[in-house]
Structure 1
Amino acid sequence: MSLLTPEQHPVKYYSSKDADAPQMTDGDLVIKTIIKACLVTGYGSKTGAGWTALHEDDNKIVLRRPLQTGNPVDVKIINGYGFYQIVSQDNPASISDAAFLAKINMIARDANCGTEWHLIASDFGFLFCYQMGRSSASDKNNILYVGSMSPLRDTGSPMLMLKNNKAADNGTAGYGVDELLGTGVSFIDMRSGAELTDKQYVSISLYPDKDFVQKLIISSYFTPFYISVASRSNDKTTEAVTIKGRPMLRWMNKMDRDTNSRALFIPLDYWEL
C-alpha cells in the first residue's frame, strides 16, 4: 500500500440531510451520537459502516475499524459532561481504561451552532465534516479525520488523526477555525503521539469548477481526500460534484467571515490506501 500501489476501499456517505439522521445541536453527546449512528448502528434506511463498538457508556464509546491490518489502534470518543476528546488506545479492557497513546481535543460545543454535517467512512478511517458555531452570517466549518494514510514509498499505514490546536478540552474553540493547511492545524500519529506539521501537495490533474485540486501530503503520507489550491472568499457551498467520472463532496473546510478558504473534495465512491 503506497501512492504508487494503492488499494481501493469503498466508502459510505452519511449526512444530516438524510431521512431520520441524527441532528447537530449544542449539547452533550451529540458528536458521539452522530458518529455511532454512522459507523455502527445506522439510521433510517442506512446501515452502519461496519465499525464495532467495543465499549460504551453514556458519554464515551470505543470504536474499532473493520480493517485490522497495519498495526491499527482503537479510538475512544469522549463527548460530554465538560470533556471533549478523541483518544487512541491499544485494545482497551474497558471504557474506563485510562491508558492512551495519543489524544486531541475536539470542537464540540458552541452557543450558536450550525446544523449541517457529513460523514464519509471507509474500513480504515472516517472524515467528519460539521458546523459547530456561527457568528453573523458565517459558519465555522470543521473537519475531523480519524484513520490511516498511505506512505509515499513504504508499505504499511500508520494511524493518524486531525488536530485543531484552537480546541479546548471542554469542546470550545476561538472564533477562527483554521483551514486544513493553516498553521493552527496539524496531524497526530495515533500510535506514537508525534505531531506532524509538514503539509504539502502532490500534483494531479483534476480541474472541477476552475479549482486546481491536488492530493494533500502530511509529512510523507497522503490523505484519501483532495484539497483545492485555489482560495475562495465567503463561500459556504456544500455540493456534490463529479470529477473525471468520480462522485465527490465539495466542502469548504474553513469559514471565518470574509477570509479566503480552500475546499475539500471528498471521494464518495472509494478511498485509496
Structure 2
Amino acid sequence: MSFLNPVNEPVLRFSSTDAGAPQINYNARTAGDVKSVLKACLVTGYGSTASAGWTAVNEAGNVIEFSSTSTEMLDYRLGVDDTSTSSTTWYYQYKNTRTNPKNNTISKEYTYSNRAHSGNRWDLIVSDKGFYFIETLYNNVINQLMSRLTFMGQIKSALVDILSENMSFWSVGLSSTNNVPARFYAKGTSAEFYQKIGGNATGFSFTSVNKGLFNEEKLPADNVAVDLVGELYVGMEGGVMGSYAGLLISTFRNRDDMYGTKTTHFNGRPVLYFCNGISWATTDNTFRFLVGVMIYLDYWEY
C-alpha cells in the first residue's frame, strides 16, 4: 500500500438521491443527522442498497465509531460525536487511544446558502480504508451549487515504512466556522488539516501539479490556458509524503464549466465531479476560490 507497491481497492458510492436514503434537512439541522447517514452507508444499508460492510462499535446515542474489515485498518476506529445540532466532531481511535484531529469540529451551519434548495444533497464515496463525504448546497452569492468535502482515512503513502499510524482528516469548503479550512492551498491556520504518517503529525500541506496556477491560492477567472487535472498530494518541506486515493483537482479554461455536481468520465473511468467552494460575502472572492474536484467511482489506488 504505497507508491512502490500500489494496490487497487474497490469503492462504493452512496447518495441522498438513492431510494430510501437517509436525508439531511439542511434548513433545520438536528443532532444525529450526519451519524445517521454514515451508519446507513457504512453499516446497515438502506432501501435496496447494501452497506459498505463496516461495523458499528461503541455506539451510544449520537456517538458512534466505525470499524473496517481491511487488515490495514484493524487498529483503527473512525468516530463521530454528533450530539450537537450545530456541529459534528470527528475523531479516530488507534489501538484504543483516541485522537482528536486538528479542526475536527465541523459546523452544520452554512452562510450565504439557500438551505432549503431542492438541489441540496450529500454523497459518500467509501473504500475499506476511508471515505469522502460531500455536502452540496446552493450558494446565494454566485447562484450556483457548491460543495464541502470531508475526508477521513488512510492515504497512499510514499514511505517505505509508515511507522505506526497512517490517518488523515480534513474538511474543506462551505463553512461558517473560521478555524475550519476554507479552501485548498490556503496559507495560515485556517488551512491546517490533520495528517499522521511516518511518526509525524505536523508540517504537512496540500500540493498538486496544478497548484502553480493558483495566484495567492486563488483560481484565476477565465484566464487559464488549458484545463488541468492532477492528484492531490501530501507535501512536507518540498517533498511528497503521499497522495489522496481516488481524488483529482481540476482547473478550467472557462468558469462556467466548473459548476454543478455530476457523474461523468475521466480517462475512461467513472468519476463524481463537483465544485468545491467557500462561504464568502463577495462575488469576486467566492468565484476566485472555487476548485473543481473529481473522485473516482470504480476503484482507488493505495
TM over 0.5: yes
Alignment of 1:68-217 (within 5 A): 68-69=71-72, 72-81=75-84, 84-92=88-96, 100-103=98-101, 104-110=104-110, 113=115, 115-131=120-136, 134-136=139-141, 137-138=143-144, 140-156=146-162, 158-163=166-171, 173-174=177-178, 178-183=182-187, 184-189=190-195, 194-202=201-209, 211-217=227-233
Q: 2 CA distance for matches of 1:211 and 1:267? A: 18
Name the amino acid aligned to 1:124. Answer: K
Contact in 1 for aligned 2:272/2:297 (Cα 8 Å): yes
How far does the alpha carbon of each residue in 1:46-98 deviate from its partner, in whole angstroms, 9 at most, with x for none?
11111110121221101112213267421210112365211111354xxxxxx
Letter in 2 for 1:216: L
Is structure 2 residue 274 aligned with structure 1 residue 251? Answer: yes
Contact 2:122 2:133 in 1 (8 A): yes
Q: How many residues align?
A: 257
Letter in structure 1 aligned against 2:301: E
3-state SS in 1 of match to 2:207: strand
Q: 1:96 is matched with which residue? A: none
The one-letter amino acid paired with 2:23 is Q
SS at match of 1:271: strand
The answer to whether the 8 Å contact 2:144/2:260 transfers is: no
Deviation of 1:28 after TM superposition, in Å, equals 1.6
Query: Structure 2 vs 1, CA of residues 158 and 69 (structure 1 numbering), >3 Å: closer, same or farther?
Result: same
Q: Which TM-score applies when normalising by structure 2? A: 0.74
Q: Could you say which residue in structure 2 is the equivalent of 1:236? A: 259
Query: What is the percentage of aligned positions where both structures have the same residue?
Result: 25
* 1:30 corresponding residue in structure 2: 33
| Distance across 2 between alignment mates of 1:194 and 1:139 | 34
Matched, 1:222 2:227: no
Residue 207 of structure 1: aligned partner: none
Say whether residues 1:53 and 2:56 are aligned partners. Answer: yes
RMSD: 3.1
Change (3 A) 1:139 1:247: closer
User: Do the aligned partners of 2:173 and 2:278 also contact (CA within 8 Å) in 1?
Assistant: no
Shift of 1:243: 1.4
Q: Which amino acid aligns with 1:19?
A: A
Query: Which amino acid is the alignment partner of residue 228 of structure 1?
Result: S
Shift of 1:187: 3.0
Query: How far did residue 105 of structure 1 move?
Result: 1.3
Alpha-carbon distance in 2 for matches of 1:62, 1:132: 27
Structure 1 pair 77–5 and aligned structure 2 pair: CA distance change class (3 A):
same
Tell me what 2:2 maps to: 2
Report the Cα distance in structure 1 between the residues aligned to 2:158 and 2:179, rounded to whole angstroms: 35
- Name the CA distance, whole Å, in 1 between partners of 2:45 and 2:191: 30
SS of corresponding position for 1:142: strand
Distance 1:73 1:37, change over 3 A: same
**3-state SS of paired residue (1:228):** strand
Q: 1: distance between equivalents of 2:253 and 2:90? A: 30
For the residue of structure 2 that corresponds to 1:69, the secondary structure is: helix
Q: Distance in 2 between matches of 1:74 and 1:133?
A: 33
CA distance in 2, matches of 1:265, 1:71: 28
Distance 1:88 1:23, change over 3 A: same
> Secondary structure, in 3 states, of the residue corresponding to 2:9?
strand
Structure-2 residue corresponding to 1:95: none
Equivalent-residue separation in structure 2 for 1:250 and 1:19 (angstroms): 21
Q: Against the structure 1 CA distance between its residues 22 and 61, is the aligned structure 2 distance closer, same or farther, given a 3 Å change threshold?
A: same
2:147–2:173 contact (8 Å) kept in structure 1:
no
Q: 1:42 aligns with which of 41, 45, 59?
A: 45
